[in-house]
Amino acid sequence: MTEATTTIENKTGIHARPASLFVQTASKFKSKVQIKAKGKTVDAKSILMIMSMGLVKGTEITISADGPDEADAVSTLKELVDAKFNEE
């Protein structure tokens, strides 16, 4: 399993467009991908579950992946979050 921790920095947090972008990206990988935040862990390929976490700006999240392309999945998703979803 590969893990990486980062902080959400884009103004709008993860909802609507950022969430769908995150899910679309996560779904490209074969590995099981999860997000851990605020003491909860959810499936990163589910837009409902990600959005229901209410990840606003400043929340610390841990992205983890388990499977054949886990390293690539974690680094790609972390990059997406760190690039503020190319929003700003």
The catalytic position among 2, 4, 12, 15 is: 15
Question: How is the beta sheet containing 32-37 ordered, strand by strand?
Answer: 2-7, 60-66, 32-37, 40-43
Please check whether residue 27 is in contact with residue 73, taking contact to mean a CB–CB distance below 8 angstroms. Answer: no
15 part of the active site? yes
Only one of the segments 33-41, 51-59, 61-69, 70-78 lies at the binding site for another protein (rule: CB under 8 A); that segment is: 51-59
What residues between 29 and 48 interact with another protein by CB under 8 A? 43, 45-48
Using the rule CB under 8 A, which residue among 2, 6, 12, 75 binds another protein? 12
Q: Of the two residues 5 and 16, which places its CB atom closer to another protein in the complex?
A: 16
List beta partners, residue 35: 42, 63
What per-residue string of b and e applies to 63-86 under the rule 16 or more CB within 10 Å gives b? bbbeeeebeebbebbbebbeeebe
Closest contact distance (angstroms) between CB of 12 and another protein is: 6
Interface residues with another protein (CB under 8 A) are: 11-13, 15-17, 20, 23, 43, 45-49, 51-52, 54, 56, 87
